[in-house]
Homo-oligomer: A and B are copies of this chain.
Amino acid sequence: MNTTEPLSTEDILALSQSLPLWRIEPSGAWMQRDFVFKDFLQAFGFMTQVALLAQSQDHHPNWSNVYSSVSIKLFTHDCSRLTLKDRQLALAIDQLC
């Protein structure tokens, strides 16, 4: 399966099983997970790890931070949909915390 092809409706359903902590937009346009840490130190340490993952997978998030909160939204810019690249990055992020 091509990593940059939009996921099918079935794939989207399977996604919500393997990534229960992510909010998945039903039509497969994006998925989002919000994190809250103890403080900015923890939040930015996590962000640096996500940055390293993103760079090595050559797939980058739309994300924001306010103090101890980090919000990560994933989708594939080429097609404006979720693809296997998003699934791969989300799984790697989930293993961080």
Binding site for B on A (CB under 8 A): 40-42, 44-49, 51-56, 58, 60-67, 77, 96
The answer to whether A52 and B49 have CB atoms under 8 Å apart is no
Q: B56 and A60: CB pair below 8 A?
A: no
A41 → chain B closest CB, angstroms: 5
Is B67 within 8 A of A60, CB to CB? yes
CA distance A58 to B56 in the complex (A): 8
* C-alpha gap A77/B47 in the complex (Å): 22
- Cα distance A74–B80 when bound, in Å? 29
What residues of chain B lie closer than 8 Å to A77, measured between beta carbons? Answer: 67
Enumerate the 5 nearest inter-chain pairs by beta-carbon distance, A residue then B residue, closest first.
Answer: A64-B64, A45-B49, A48-B48, A56-B56, A52-B55
Shortest CB distance A65–B (Å): 6
A90 to B69, CA, bound (A): 21
Q: Jot down 25 A-B pairs with beta carbons below 8 A, ordered by A.
A: A40-B52, A40-B55, A40-B60, A41-B49, A41-B52, A41-B53, A44-B49, A44-B51, A44-B52, A44-B55, A45-B45, A45-B46, A48-B51, A51-B52, A53-B55, A55-B55, A55-B56, A56-B56, A60-B66, A61-B65, A61-B66, A62-B65, A63-B64, A63-B66, A64-B64
